[in-house]
Structure 1
């Protein structure tokens, strides 16, 4: 993380050279802190202290150049920002960073994007329209941001709608109840992050998504995943590697997943499964939908929820799935991938 400290020093010097007198105490000037924007960043600061800053993320997104192939960055100072943010297609890559004293984890995040929309609102015609962050551009990285939908129990209410390929989320926190993360398209990575919910709270149709070192918390009876792979040639695959499942929903109250479509494909491997996980592990969608083409696997999970006779349409794998298997050869060289968050 030495380069990050060097980056912070450069940012401080650059801002000083630009005549910006720093109005915030540098309380966490450490190797893993990310507390300063660079001179090239678009800056969000609800306090308005930073010269030329935007008061919310929506305004900063509107200022992005959608015709440049160069990378762009938005830096967000601490605060709770109540807004729904739509990020449309950009020509070049994008990074959005939240202020934090320790970028290695979500536990020190100081930026929260929050909204309250749900499918019962008149005029809404899709799950995506309820989402706090609607992400429709590719080649993007999010760091150390809390994203929440505060609606709660009752119907679909998304925190994140990930609707394009090559999207990475690092040290982020996603909170909701039903359909928290819509991992729907292309290749995606979620690492050293947190997600909670109750009903189908990680779901989608076509994404190949790798979840690494994710703290998963169940807050109600239900299902963690609802993968909607609908055909043998659909590349959708959710893999949870070295994750942790705990919760407040009670013993045996949660299933690892249920099949939203007939070719649903999900694996949990090398993960801690708390006692909230039902001994069956996996559930049917209903009594009618066939399960012949479902791929539900586990590999070397441990903890009280890893015991029990599993559903007869699931399997114990003989070897773990590798990230390269679902993200492709040399994926780690690409802009949207931060290997420092992957083991």
Structure 2
């Protein structure tokens, strides 16, 4: 629907502008394609059906550096929602091919809280995204029953870096621990009525090569529920599996058929099932005047809350944790189908300076790339699946991707390389071309000539038939100007 590009070759230069301009009452996806770049600043998404489609998570980064805890850094203290780089409350949110980062957490590798993402909405999908920080990277939800689906995502942190509530399914994700002394992956606070909690299916636990060991999680509040199914541990998880205290008693904290980096089964016989925490006034040791600590070094208070959690699953119990069961709810929501890739375009060829290809199934449009950068789009229902690039040079490499109705990108097509050695060289008459502030002006253009302006990557910025000899375009970026008249074609660069 719209394109974001920092170089001005899209409809907007920032993600915030594109979201601000999006409809507020959508009942179907509004696709925002984001070209490569690092987009800085806090972002709030309250509108429904916003689909953010990044070129890929390596090149499209949404970043901020706010913190949400007391600090002596001289930084303002934000609430977790205002401190998160991206805060989502609009239902049916979808993101693919994007890195959500909190720069403070990544750089400092220390607390306090520094959230990359907070999704308080229902029916949120993250597909092939990266979430990066250190403490509290991802806050999943604040209410029972809200559903999130993460598919093939990379989530990085060290301390409670996935926390909150909701039914959240992590499918084939990588959980990357950055701290040598280990840490805690999850810190949930599910209510008892939460049906499923956190489900990690066929995920990989990885991290710093020097990690001594880590815990699956610790119980933040209430009655947390978390299961790890078919997990591969590339770094060691402590034999107890789960840390014994924080502020709640888990209902179910279990892992099933966990294997190590070599694919060998992990011994789960020592997994923790007993948890406790304290409430009330702190007990003071009369002999020292200091807070009294128990045998585990935990500060004692007047009330000790104890309990047990289910710490294992039978084959039958594990089999119930499917995407359909966990995510469908009362509205039969199916996030898996929204992350299915469409087939890559085939049959690419170049004739002259025109690229063409064969149609793919279930595609609404195609993304055209030149030397790795997006230069244009072609609708699937176009009369011909072709893209003309007048700036094509020998050696340029072209690929095409298909796009599903949800914004899921196909794999890249095969690469085709341009050879324009047999095409006539273009010449340059005596046009008058200059900059006037933020505007490019070209005069002395022949009557009825067509003028096109391109970004340096080949994206069309403007095209018009000139009737009065003058062409204007508002842009501060360098441009390629192409003028086609009856007698000749001319191309030149305006810096």
Bigger strand share: 2
Count how many residue pairs are aligned between Structure 1 and Structure 2.
284
Structure 1 residue 337 displacement after superposition: 5.3
Aligned residue for 1:216? 175
In the alignment, which residue of structure 1 is the partner of 2:234? 274
* Residue range with higher mean Cα deviation, 295-304 or 144-153: 295-304
Unaligned runs of 5+ in 2: 275-309, 342-495
In 2, the alpha carbon distance for the partners of 1:290 and 1:117 equals 28
Measured in 1, the distance between the counterparts of 2:65 and 2:99 equals 14
1:136 maps to 2:83: no
CA distance in structure 2 between the aligned counterparts of 1:174 and 1:302, rounded to whole angstroms: 24
Q: Is the 8 A contact 1:251 1:278 kept in 2?
A: no
Deviations 1:196-227 (A, max 9, x none): 1000000003x100001101110113100011
What is the aligned counterpart of 1:168 among 109, 122, 125?
A: 125
Q: Deviation digits for residues 55-102 of structure 1, max 9, x if unmatched?
A: 110111110110343431111001111121111133xx22110013xx
Give structure 1 stretches of 5+ with no counterpart.
Answer: 1-40, 101-105
**Shift in CA distance, 331/338, structure 1 to aligned 2, threshold 3 Å:** farther
**Residues 223-302 of structure 1: pairs in structure 2 closer than 5 A:** 223-230=184-191, 232-235=192-195, 237-248=197-208, 250-286=210-246, 289=247, 291=249, 293-302=250-259
Q: 1: CA distance between counterparts of 2:245 and 2:218? A: 5
CA distance in 1 between partners of 2:28 and 2:121 (Å): 19
Counterpart residue number, 2:300:
none
Quick check: 1:224–1:255 contact (8 Å CA) kept in 2?
Answer: yes
User: How far apart, in 2, do the equivalents of 1:322 and 1:334 lie?
Assistant: 11
**Residue aligning to 1:82:** 40
Deviation (angstroms), 1:165: 0.3
CA distance in 2, matches of 1:249, 1:315: 28
CA distance in 1: counterparts of 2:236 and 2:47, whole angstroms: 39
| Contact 1:170–1:193 (8 Å) recurs in 2 | yes
Higher helix proportion: 1
> TM-score, normalised on structure 1?
0.77
Answer whether contact 2:102 2:114 (CA < 8 A) is retained: yes
Shift in Å, 1:275: 3.1
In the other structure, the counterpart of 1:155 is 112
1:331 to 1:97, Cα distance in 2 relative to 1, 3 A: farther
What is the CA distance between 1:160 and its match in structure 2?
0.5
8 Å Cα contact 1:174-1:180 kept in structure 2 = yes
Separation in structure 2 between the aligned mates of residue 336 and residue 300 of structure 1, nearest angstrom = 23
Per-residue CA distance 1:86-139 (angstroms, 9 max, x = gap):
11133xx22110013xxxxx5xx3201111000244352x21111111111001
For residues 210 and 239 of structure 2, the distance between their equivalents in structure 1, rounded to whole angstroms, comes to 13
Deviation at 1:336, TM superposition (A): 8.4
Residues 1:290 and 1:49: Cα distance change in structure 2 (over 3 Å) = closer
Q: Which has the higher contact order (CA 8 A, sep 6+)?
A: 1
| Residues 1:324 and 2:317 aligned together | no
| CA deviation after TM superposition for structure 1 residue 181, in Å | 0.7
Residue 142 to residue 339, structure 1, CA distance change in 2 (3 Å): closer
Partner SS, residue 96 of structure 1:
strand
Q: Structure 1: how far apart are the matches of 2:22 and 2:327?
A: 28
Looking at structure 2, the residues matched to 85 and 332 of structure 1 have their Cα atoms a distance apart, in angstroms, of: 30
SS at match of 1:48: coil
Distance 1:111 1:332 in 2: 32
Root-mean-square deviation (Å): 2.3
